[in-house]
Structure 1
Amino acid sequence: MCTSFAVHLDKTFIGMNFDISRRPIKIVLIGEDQLLVLQNDDGQFYPAFGLNSSGTFMNLLMVDPIEEGKYRRGKNCVHIMKLFDEILSGRIELSQLSEYLTNNVIVNVPSHSVHSLIAGRNRKTFIVEPGRKNIDINSSDSDFMVLTNFPVSDNSDNEYKNVKGPGNDRYIKAYEVITNNKETFNIATGVNLLKDTAQQSGDYPTQFSLIFVPEESKVHFTLNGDFTKIFEFSFINKQIQSIEGFTSNNSLKLTKKGVLLSELEDW
């Protein structure tokens, strides 16, 4: 269960709360330009979301399954993990994505059902829902998109206050915060939005929250729903550093080996 958004003003603000049951989570740097957040499931680490130095973000959020979105092989069928890899590696540019989605059918991987917010600079933002309808921000009159855990395409005829399904309360809250602050939205607004939609209890607590500003090549993030301590990762120097709320200054160079969130908690 997660909350994510993309807001397009003079800069782009992409945000997400990663809500999942307690488990090891780590941040890794693939090559020079892919930052991935991986979650451990039965001893193996799998991607949950990622972003790259070109300013592209993609996540994989739980959503109720439908038959049409289940994994299958076939002509022009592409499973969403392949799309994830091709988007973040840059093999598919966001300027090409609309045509790609028209010419291919996106399906899930076996035994999973997810949908994705894919966002980047210059209003290049999409919601991809396997087996359902894909949504391009250019088809709307809005400069932002929000995604939680219900199928947005199934609610396309509903006013935002009337959307139904898992995470609709978080969707409504995020939608209202963005609408009310659209002219002045900044990193602080985004952090407060994530704080307001974080889950502090239950089966899916917020373990990681981030704000990505592609134009600055920087990611601000917090751990375990604690918004008093803010970390920053920069694609420029490939480092994570403590920037707010810490008693001492800390930094580390991020690599393919990565760093567990539990290690950063000790800062």
Structure 2
Amino acid sequence: MCTRYVYNGIDTIVGFNFDIDLSVWDHTVITEENRFYIGIKMPDGLYHSFHGINKNGNVGTLLYVHGNENARYIESEDCITISELTEKFIKAEISFDKALDIVKKKKIIYAPDATMQAMLSDKKGRVLIIEPGIGYRYEQENFSLITNYSILKPDITKPYIVSGDTRYEVAKELLAGYDKDFSVNDAFKVLKSVSQKDLWATRVSFVYSTEKNKVYYVLNNDFSNVFEFQF
């Protein structure tokens, strides 16, 4: 369970809540010269960057979604997995325009081990929502928002909405109430309002200011203790 948004005000600000079951995923926050990311340990023994930020302003995040058959994994040169595409974007191996070109030309599929959708954004506030097996949307609005259900065809994942899960509605209402002066503090208020507890608790929350090229993050819902990482 995760929540991700982009707010285009005077500053373009990104917010992300990383909600996971610790028995399922091994994670750690990793800071490098050109990347900040939540590393996920994969079978190859490496911590991969499926949720992170590049110094150039690229921000990519994967979010769990109930899968559909049209996006199941197959080996084909005409396909690319959503995880590979997202990590390439975070590593700045591809630009936003290249990512957009890829989703237009190739079939986007799930990795063999997980069903995910993604939001990619750049320093200009452009957003690409990618839902494997369903489609994609390019936009540059006042704000963009996604959680763990389909935005493009909501009826597909509506039966799988967890009872009482109002993260999308709560965050949308809050974001709609802000103006162009939306700040890092405001961004954390939104994330805190939809943070999770218990098994699938929020383990990392990060806010990225494109204007300052700086990441602010908190661990385990401790919103009173904010760490900073300056590119």
The equivalent of 1:155 in structure 2 is: 154
> Which 5+ residue runs of structure 2 have no aligned equivalent?
none
Structure 1: stretches of 5+ with no match in the other structure: 157-161, 236-267
Secondary structure of the structure 2 residue equivalent to 1:123: coil
Q: 1:220 aligns with which of 216, 223, 231?
A: 216
Aligned match of 1:116: 118
What secondary structure sits across from 2:118 in the alignment?
strand
Query: Alignment identity in percent?
Result: 24
Deviations 1:195-221 (A, max 9, x none): 1000122x2001110100122111001
Please say if residues 53 and 214 of structure 1, whose CA atoms lie closer than 8 Å, have aligned partners that are also in contact: no
Contact in 2 for aligned 1:155/1:164 (Cα 8 Å): no
Amino acid at match of 1:99: D
**Cross-structure match for 1:208:** 204
Is the counterpart of residue 192 in structure 1 residue 193 in structure 2?
no
Name 1:137's counterpart in structure 2.
139
Kept in 2: contact 1:78–1:105 (CA 8 A): yes
Q: Does 1:10 align with 2:10?
A: yes
1:104 to 103, 106, 109: 106
Output the TM-score relative to the length of structure 2. 0.89
The Cα offsets for residues 141-192 of structure 1, whole Å up to 9 and x where unpaired, read as x321111101111129xxxxx9983585101111111100133311111010
Query: Among 58, 62, 65, which residue is 1:63 paired with?
Result: 65
Q: Is the 8 A contact 1:77 1:105 kept in 2?
A: yes
Alignment of 1:180 onto 2:182 = no
Q: Which residue of 2 aligns with 1:146?
A: 145
Q: Which residue of 1 aligns with 2:92?
A: 90
Shift of 1:38: 1.4
Q: Which position in structure 2 is the counterpart of 1:37?
A: 38
Distance 1:163 1:56, change over 3 A: farther
Q: Look up the match of 1:81.
A: 83
Whole-angstrom distance in 1 between the partners of 2:134 and 2:72: 11
- TM superposition shift of 1:42: 7.5
CA distance in 1, matches of 2:56, 2:44: 31
Does the 8 A contact of 1:208 with 1:221 survive in 2? yes
Residue in 2 aligned with 1:165? 161
Output the amino acid matched with 1:56: N
RMSD: 2.3
Counterpart of 2:27? Answer: 25
Size of the aligned set, in residue pairs, is 225
Aligned counterparts of 1:100 and 1:106: Cα–Cα separation in 2: 9
Give the Cα–Cα distance (whole angstroms) in 1 for the partners of residues 43 and 76 of structure 2: 29
Tell me if structure 2 keeps the 8 A contact 1:95–1:124: no
Task: State how far apart, in whole Å, the 1-side matches of 2:76 and 2:197 are.
Answer: 42
Asked whether the 8 Å contact 2:118–2:130 carries over to 1, the reply is yes
CA contact (8 A) 2:50 2:86 kept: no
Runs of 4+ in 1 over 4 A off after TM superposition: 40-44
Cα distance between partner residues in 2 of 1:85 and 1:148: 19
Q: 1:183 to 1:150 in 2, by over 3 A?
A: same
Counterpart CA distance in 1 for 2:43 and 2:88 is 26
Given residue 191 of structure 1, which amino acid in structure 2 is its aligned partner?
F
Q: Which of the pair has more CA radius of gyration?
A: 1
Between the aligned partners of 2:42 and 2:80, the Cα distance in structure 1 is: 23
- Partner Cα separation in structure 1 for residue 170 and residue 159 of structure 2: 12
